[in-house]
Amino acid sequence: MRRLLQILATPHGLFAVLFLVAAGLYFLFTPSASEITIRVPTDNPDTLAAQTLEEIRLVVVDTFGVARRYVVDLEVSPDLGERIEQILIKLRSDMLAGNGWPKELSVPNVYLQDIDEQLVAIMDFRLVNHVSLDVNKEINLYQAISETVLSNGVNRILVLKDGRPAETFLGHLAVPNKP
């Protein structure tokens, strides 16, 4: 027992204990996929009637860059463009809770286009307010958005800002902007 205490008193031992405590807290307070469900409201009653409950895939990236993939049931539109927007609304709500998605950044408008026999999601981010993130948060946010969209039926992504090809996502990360 004395030897164990001597080992734990070293910097490496303290780091290991802190790491285990942090990992335990993370898994203890992270909601499970079964606790998360959302209904996305729509103005069009025809679209609402046509919506179906389907399993969708989300990828949430936390502040440490750890990607967590899970499946949730979500009422979605049969139109794939609307469906991707609804999925991004769900992703945004999940990431807002962990400060992974800035409040100033809304969900992009999504347009789908068939380019070279690939389904391409053109995501147009409307930047009403200036959004400033550090590089790591920007990378984590883009990873969550792109992996979520790509895991739900899209082959490629193009990014626009205010209707124009974006050189960077939010100032740091270069993103695909041309077919």
Summarised one tens digit per residue, pLDDT across range 31-87 is 554 444 444 444 555 545 578 888 999 999 887 888 999 999 999 888 888 999 999
| CB proximity list for 125: less than 8 A, separation 6 or greater | 105, 106, 108, 159, 160, 161, 162, 166
The bridge status of strand 118-125 relative to strand 156-161 is parallel
Q: Tell me the angle at which helices 80-97 and 135-150 cross, rounded to the nearest 10 degrees.
A: 140
pLDDT (average), residues 10-28: 80
Q: By C-alpha distance, which of 97, 161, 103, 163 is closest to 133?
A: 103
State if pTM tops 0.85. no
pLDDT, residue 38, reads 40
pLDDT band of 116, cuts 50, 70, 90: confident
- pLDDT average, residue stretch 162-176: 86
Task: Find, among 80, 65, 70, the residue nearest to 120 by Cα.
Answer: 80
pLDDT of residue 19: 82
Mean pLDDT value across residues 108-122: 90
Q: Residue 175 — very low, low, confident or very high, per pLDDT cuts 50/70/90?
A: confident
Domain ranges of the chain: 1-30, 31-165
